[in-house]
Structure 1
């Protein structure tokens, strides 16, 4: 019998990569792509576990899942650091004022 590709195995890998990249966008995109990749990978693992001899692409699913977990952790750290900086510097206005002060001080 011919082996079939696991459903969405490549897409899971892509979403895992995007979750790592998305952590740079204040963490929001990283969380979204990471959760989607984890949900899809759980479904793919269930399908593969039922009949492992019928499917290929399990390595993509495992790699995508690991990348999604890393992306979620990095995104969580990004969101936490954003919240802490907003609290410490008095919101976005305080952050912009601090940046302007640094630019004035160093002649930028």
Structure 2
């Protein structure tokens, strides 16, 4: 008989990857995906700890959790940098800097 996979193990991995990929969207999307992945990973770890012999897919949970932590850190740094830039230059100054960067390429 084949072991069932741990609930949401693939989803945790996908959200962990998405938290890293979307960290440059002003940091907000990366934080959302990372936090959701951590919450789901916590529940999956509790289920696995209750009876580790009947489930497979715990490696996806561990990997997704690590990726979610990395994504949260990167997203937090990007969000802080964005907030500081807005505080220093203002929203109009930030848009002007972005516009100038586009013309230089």
- The answer to whether TM tops 0.5 is yes
Change (3 A) 1:72 1:102: closer
* Structure 1 unaligned residues grouped into runs of 5+: none
Is it true that 1:96 corresponds to 2:95 in the alignment?
yes
- How much has 1:3 moved relative to structure 2? 1.3
Q: Runs of 5+ in structure 2 lacking a partner?
A: none
Rg larger for: 1
Q: TM-score, normalised by structure 2?
A: 0.90
Report the Cα distance in structure 1 between the residues aligned to 2:24 and 2:101, rounded to whole angstroms: 23
- Determine the structure 2 residue equivalent to 1:63: 63
**Structure 2 match to 1:84:** 84
Cα distance, 1:92 vs. partner? 1.6
Question: Residue deviations 1:3-22, cap 9 Å, x none?
Answer: 11000100000000000011
Answer whether contact 1:2 1:54 (CA < 8 A) is retained: no
**1:52 lines up with 2:64 in the alignment:** no
Compared CA separation, residues 14 and 92, structure 1 to 2 (3 A): same
Q: Which moved more, 1:92-101 or 1:53-62?
A: 92-101
Distance 1:102 1:21, change over 3 A: closer
CA RMSD of aligned residues (A): 2.1
Aligned residues: 105
Q: Deviations over 1:6-40 (max 9, x none)?
A: 00100000000000011010010001000100000
* Conservation of the 8 A alpha-carbon contact between 1:23 and 1:31: yes
